[in-house]
Amino acid sequence: MAVSYGDLEYWSSDQQSQALAAFKNSCRIFLSWPATKIISPERLGGRAGDWHSSCQLAETFEVPTDHQAKEFFEQYFTVISYTQDTEGLFTGYFAPEYHGSDKPSAEYSYPLYGLPEGLKTLNLGDFRADLKGQTIIGEIRDGAFVPYKDREIIDRGALENQELELVWLKDPVDAFFMHIQGSGVIRYENGDQKLFGYAGKNGKAYHAIGKFLIQSGEIKKQDMSMQAIRGWIKDNPLQAEALMWKNPSYVFFRAMEGRLPVGAMNVELTAGRSLAVDRKFVPLGIPVWLDLKPSAETGTEIKNPIRRLVIAQDTGGAIKGRVRGDVYWGIGEEAGLMAGPMKDLGRYYFLLPKDLAGRLLSDQNTPLTKAGPS
- What structural domains and CATH numbers belong to the chain? 5-91+262-371 (2.40.40.10), 99-255 (2.40.240.50)
Structure confidence at residue 28 (pLDDT) = 96
Identify the helix (H) or strand (E) that includes residue 259. none
| Calpha distance 344→304 (Å, rounded) | 11
Mean pLDDT, range 288-292, rounded to an integer: 95
Structure confidence at residue 225 (pLDDT) = 83
Q: Say whether pLDDT at 275 is over 70.
A: yes
Q: Which of 333, 6, 14 is nearest to 174 (CA)?
A: 333
pLDDT category at 289 given cuts 50, 70, 90 is very high
* Reported pTM: 0.76
Structure confidence at residue 257 (pLDDT) = 85
Q: Say whether pLDDT at 341 is over 90.
A: no
Average predicted confidence (pLDDT) for the chain: 90
Structure confidence at residue 148 (pLDDT) = 96
Mean pLDDT, range 247-261, rounded to an integer: 90
In what side-by-side order are the strands of the sheet with 135-141? 120-123, 135-141, 144-147
| Calpha distance 46→359 (Å, rounded) | 9
Mean pLDDT, range 30-45, rounded to an integer: 95
Q: Say whether pLDDT at 222 is over 90.
A: no
- 243 phi and psi angles, rounded to 5 deg: -65, -45
Structure confidence at residue 303 (pLDDT) = 54
Q: Which of 209, 212, 201 is nearest to 150 (CA)?
A: 201
pLDDT category at 200 given cuts 50, 70, 90 is very high
Strands in the chain per DSSP E? 77-81, 88-95, 97-101, 110-113, 120-123, 135-141, 144-147, 165-169, 183-188, 193-201, 251-255, 274-276, 287-294, 307-314, 324-331, 343-353, 369-371
